[in-house]
């Protein structure tokens, strides 16, 4: 069965520091992978997604993620955190032939001044 | 603004009551999804409709039901409400075509408080 695991329900970084949010997936077929962000009192919005092709995917607001099949991972990174990045981040997976997108439990990112 | 509209934004009701949450998907989208988000259970997929037909079912309770109408708007009906049903309910939609790589666009949610 397909699943998504996000390591760390809370991550705290200092402003200007590297952001690394971890996501591992389980899938018996090639996955489609997503990162969504939820700002306070808002719905989720897409940050970036991997479908096919280049394994390094760039998204909005300076975020990027790399699909590593051998590690079944899709970690989200940003070189320099900004206060406005404080939000909850969700990794998600779907797959050809399936109708569901499966979301991870989410990681709340705190950015310290 | 994602283009997905949900009403009401906030709702307070008593245990045992029934409520209906309404959703209008983005223009042109045929798929509608319902999710429940709570502090203890995170983001839970409830159900998906595609062009009026149920496509996938998740952790939806029997007390809950949904439908998608010919004009593609959707309603989520929650009945015999319990305190534990208090949550943020999201509607989302995605573009036509059964493509697993489609982006899902979320509304701002309906906050349900059961007292």
Q: What is the pLDDT of residues B59-88, one digit of tens each?
A: 899 999 999 999 999 999 999 999 999 999
Whether B100 sits inside 8 A of A96 (CB atoms) is yes
Pairing status of strand B87-94 against strand B31-38: antiparallel
- Any CB–CB contact under 8 A between A67 and chain B? no
What is the 8-class DSSP label of residue A101?
Answer: P
Q: Minimal CA–CA distance to A21: which of A63, A58, A53? A: A63
**Integer Cα distance of A109 and A21 in angstroms:** 9
| Residue in B with minimal Cα distance to A37 | B106
**Residue B20 above 80 pLDDT?**
yes
Q: What pLDDT does residue B62 have?
A: 96
CB-CB: which of A41, A43, A100 is closest to B45?
Answer: A100
- Any CB–CB contact under 8 A between B109 and chain A? yes
Tally the C-alpha atoms within 13 A of residue A94's C-alpha that lie toward its C-beta: 21
Give residue-wise pLDDT tens across range A30-89: 889 999 999 988 899 999 999 888 899 999 999 999 999 999 999 999 999 999 999 999
């Amino acid at each position: 069965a397909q699943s998504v695991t996000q390591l760390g329900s809370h991550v705290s970084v200092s402003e200007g520091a590297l952001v690394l949010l971890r996501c591992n997936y389980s899938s018996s077929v090639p996955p489609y992978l997503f990162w969504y962000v939820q700002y306070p009192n808002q719905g989720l919005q897409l940050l970036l997604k991997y479908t096919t092709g280049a394994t390094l995917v760039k998204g909005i607001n300076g975020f990027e993620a790399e699909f590593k099949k051998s590690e079944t991972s899709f970690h989200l990174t940003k070189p320099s955190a900004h206060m406005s990045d404080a939000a909850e981040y969700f990794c998600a997976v779907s797959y050809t032939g399936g109708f569901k997108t499966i979301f991870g439990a989410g990681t709340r990112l705190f950015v310290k001044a | 603004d994602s283009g997905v509209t949900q009403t009401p934004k906030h709702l307070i009701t008593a245990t045992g009551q029934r409520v209906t949450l309404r959703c209008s998907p983005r223009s042109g989208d045929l798929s509608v999804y319902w999710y429940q988000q709570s502090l203890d259970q995170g983001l839970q997929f409830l159900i998906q409709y595609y062009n009026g037909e149920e496509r996938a079912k998740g952790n939806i309770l029997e007390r809950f039901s949904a439908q998608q109408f010919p004009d593609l708007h959707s309603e989520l009906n929650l009945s015999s409400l319990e305190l534990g049903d208090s949550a943020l309910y999201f509607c989302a939609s995605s573009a036509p075509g059964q493509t697993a790589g489609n982006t899902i666009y979320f509304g701002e949610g309906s906050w349900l408080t059961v007292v």
